[in-house]
Amino acid sequence: KQEVTQIPAALSVPEGENLVLNCSFTDSAIYNLQWFRQDPGKGLTSLLLIQSSQREQTSGRLNASLDKSSGRSTLYIAASQPGDSATYLCAVQYTGGFKTIFGAGTRLFVKA
């Protein structure tokens, strides 16, 4: 069964700290993995997309890595800010039907 898991479910850090969010998935037959941000009651904002042939992607203070063989991805956030407080979701798009499966997310709170 194809599943995506995110641990921890919630995380609280002081402002300025570097942090890592984790995403694991079963079945390595994937097209890509995408990280999103969701603010309460809002839609999803795309942060980074990593294609299955890639190992990492960077955008500003964000760096996402992908290890397809172990079924893991990490999202690294440097120098966290209170404005980074949100729920972060990873989504895996599998081959064979292009099905996208989301993890339940990690709720991040950055304290000023």
Binding site for another protein (CB under 8 A): 4, 31-32, 34, 36, 41-46, 49, 51, 89, 91, 93, 97-105
How is residue 25 written in tokens? 């998935």
Q: Which is nearer to another protein, 11 or 44 (CB)?
A: 44
Q: Radius of gyration of the chain from Cα atoms? A: 13
Q: 112: burial class by Cβ within 10 Å (0-12, 13-18, 19+)?
A: exposed
What are residue 32's DSSP bridge partners?
51, 93
**How far apart are CB 29 and another protein at their closest, in Å?**
13
Identify which of residues 14 and 53 has a Cβ nearer to another protein in the complex.
53
Residue 69 or 98 with smaller CB distance to another protein: 98
Smallest separation, CB 46 to another protein (Å): 5
Q: Which two tokens stand for residue 47?
A: 């942060």
